[in-house]
Structure 1
């Protein structure tokens, strides 16, 4: 029982083991409805077990439902028994999911796979989220994975924990309640991402959703030599990761979100975005590698909590700006952009038309020159699409290439990449979307992507790798 001038806090917390997972059931009284009059008692339960607590239908913040029990505190703080009696008076039948009008505005779901050498930054970012916390209009929910090989702070626990993020100012300790604990997760398994997304949506429904996948990223292509199709969320303990097609499967199973963001390196590629085009209205990501700090979560969440009525596009632009604003004064070279997914089918058709025009020109060496000079990123086979098209138009000067190129460039600027920023002069020729353009060897896994199956860019990539004809032989 916590007593204060404007606060009377009551907490019941019990840890329950079930099928190898730990669940926490909690009740909280946490704020006075009006000074000197009433305390508004709200309570939260993780995954509820009504046979454990008769009052398990009182849910706090972003869970499926929220109810209020008003207790008169005119005579001073009420004992715990009074609150429990009030709680027990609530109908014990689980209420239906609330109508859209009563839902919170946003639920931000962050899948923080720190089961690798980024573990320290995972802890840092969750503590960064706690400087803002959830609010009456915004849920911030996290799954944080840890391993035993890297960071040892904050208890040095391993496995993964799911949290509703509460405001807390301690930068070294996660104070938010643990709602679920998973001792041996595989956060590189796309099905585990589905479990998290489903859990978050079921327990924290909202009018709008943002999903952030936090970890190493490598675009569609490979990060480690033993890998085949690459992607995101590398779990060093299980040696598993989520490939680009699997990411699309996971997002489809979770259900559409308003904004999907990769807080990971190299993920804002045409191939990745096209694969997940049906999963979100907007995609936020970086063409280039990210610094270890990744997103700046206080700068991302604080404006959202203060203006929860912002649109999905507003939130996407905020994600880009909060990232660039953080790294600009640090003189770190970065890229971040916002893509409108409804334009991705037209990107495929426009890019294929341009590729066909260049191939029909037979100007192979000129096209290779453009490929070589285009702005590249950490993996040299990832090139900025806009920059490549611009250069190709200048070197392959035919009416067909010019027409298709102008159309593609205008489409990229106007319809697809609706906002992008870079920091560092090195990235002045970046425009928010990269594409696969290797200089030497073709990865046959590229043919497995939806982008390749539906268009002709894979054929174009192969054409650009055509070796030059042998020098003519001269008779003696």
Structure 2
């Protein structure tokens, strides 16, 4: 089995000399006892995208992983692809590769062609293979790449048009893997921007216990993989909530070490609470649909939207607790609003934010504001989500009205 080294962590092998005995023992253990259950298997699906081609961000994170690497009881399994060029020159750009991350080097496990990493089949196959090859008591899935919220999705394979994986595609990938393995994750985490939306929380609810993600941008330094892997190695009884907290706190410190002091958000969300929030959103949306019977109602709604805590103009994501509060006061549905806010508080078990986000509560939702040219297109995509029926209807109606008001100067009452 071929192994690779980097100049940062040399693993030079000379005749009669073992330069890295701990890595050799770990690799030997993997070959001799591949089916023994580890405590944790961490699967990292790394869609390098232009983040790697232009900035070598993925390579930087891989170097962090190799500072600790896998150990007895901890498997760190990585799939790379989706970038036209890799900063680590031993990672090929023309095909996907699967690696076991060792201390000081990557151990090549498999080369799998150049399939589109934004497709359900590709992600689903990696998850299935990883679970079958590296059985464990606990599984973590980390999705690395661009994050554009529930509509434009995750990933960005440069070899296949950089289209991103839509939310329904991601859901399909997880479903495919689950049907084969009957295994769920302790944590699904996004080392990506804008992926803590309620739509995403709800879509993942059957496949993991916790989501670790940000409602906002994720800084270029990304997660602190050295601290994450070292914590798994040092604390045998580490629980998923505690691991989530470590991911969040280490990201904050890691960002500050790289000079990033603002727009830091990251949270840990209980996915078994997703249905409670969505049921509350459904009841709230039903009231709103009953009460927006005039042009003035939509103007009020648009004005409220501009005052909300929101994130990333291209995604049109807004803090759900704040949005529900504004609409609740304007449309007389504060009882439904309080139900939403209580459900969010129950679901978000840990939330880190910097002071410029005082109203942020850790879960966002799509509501159109900036990207007017795509209001209708985005609404059409949104209707395919497994989500609140009444909220989807509200988004569709609002998008249509805003387009007609802004571009035609007329109001059409729509049933």
CA distance in 2, matches of 1:464, 1:366: 12
- Matched residue SS, 1:262: strand
Structure (1 or 2) with the greater strand fraction: 1
Rate the CA distance shift 1:303–1:237 in 2: closer, same or farther, 3 A. same
Query: By how many angstroms is 1:332 displaced?
Result: 3.4
Is contact 2:219-2:255 (8 Å) kept? no
CA distance in 2, matches of 1:327, 1:458: 36
Rate the CA distance shift 1:460–1:5 in 2: closer, same or farther, 3 A. closer
CA distance in 1, matches of 2:253, 2:24: 38
Query: By how many angstroms is 1:201 displaced?
Result: 0.9
CA distance in 2, matches of 1:287, 1:207: 29
Alpha-carbon displacement from aligned partner over 1:33-89 (angstroms, at most 9, x marks no partner)? xxxxxxxx94444xxxxxxxxxxxx23xxx214xxxxxxxxxxxxxxxxxxxxxxxx
Rate the CA distance shift 1:44–1:305 in 2: closer, same or farther, 3 A. closer
Equivalent residues in 2 for 1:341-380 (5 A)?
341-362=271-292, 363-378=297-312, 379=314
CA distance in 2, matches of 1:5, 1:404: 65
Between 1:335-344 and 1:363-372, the stretch displaced more is: 363-372
Equivalent residues in 2 for 1:9-408 (5 A)?
30=25, 42-45=28-31, 58-59=32-33, 63-65=34-36, 103-119=37-53, 120-145=56-81, 147-148=83-84, 150-155=85-90, 157-158=92-93, 159-168=95-104, 175-221=105-151, 230-239=152-161, 240-255=163-178, 256-328=184-256, 330=259, 331-362=261-292, 363-378=297-312, 379=314, 381-396=316-331, 398=332, 401-408=333-340
CA distance in 2, matches of 1:152, 1:209: 28
- Matched residue SS, 2:150: coil
- Matched residue SS, 2:287: helix
Is contact 1:106-1:308 (8 Å) kept? no
CA distance in 2, matches of 1:327, 1:5: 36
State the TM-score, normalized to the length of structure 1: 0.71
CA distance in 1, matches of 2:230, 2:298: 51
Alpha-carbon displacement from aligned partner over 1:235-263 (angstroms, at most 9, x marks no partner)? 11122532111101111222321111111
Query: By how many angstroms is 1:231 displaced?
Result: 1.4
Q: Which residue matches 2:342?
A: 410
Q: Which residue matches 1:422?
A: 353
Is contact 1:161-1:181 (8 Å) kept? yes
Q: Higher relative contact order at CA 8 Å, sep ≥6: structure 1 or structure 2?
A: 2
Larger-Rg structure: 1
Rate the CA distance shift 1:29–1:321 in 2: closer, same or farther, 3 A. closer
CA distance in 2, matches of 1:392, 1:146: 41
State the TM-score, normalized to the length of structure 2: 0.81
Structure (1 or 2) with the greater helix fraction: 2
- RMSD (CA atoms): 2.7
CA distance in 2, matches of 1:418, 1:189: 31
CA distance in 1, matches of 2:108, 2:174: 24
- Matched residue SS, 2:190: strand
CA distance in 1, matches of 2:232, 2:284: 40
Rate the CA distance shift 1:203–1:409 in 2: closer, same or farther, 3 A. same
Query: By how many angstroms is 1:186 displaced?
Result: 2.1
CA distance in 2, matches of 1:301, 1:277: 25
Query: By how many angstroms is 1:463 displaced?
Result: 4.4
CA distance in 2, matches of 1:8, 1:117: 34
Unpaired runs of 5+ residues, structure 1, are: 10-27, 32-40, 46-57, 66-102, 169-174, 222-229, 472-476
Query: By how many angstroms is 1:111 displaced?
Result: 0.7
Unpaired runs of 5+ residues, structure 2, are: 1-13, 179-183
- Matched residue SS, 2:160: coil
Is contact 2:148-2:315 (8 Å) kept? no
CA distance in 2, matches of 1:193, 1:156: 19
Is contact 1:358-1:367 (8 Å) kept? no
- Matched residue SS, 1:118: helix
Rate the CA distance shift 1:392–1:134 in 2: closer, same or farther, 3 A. same
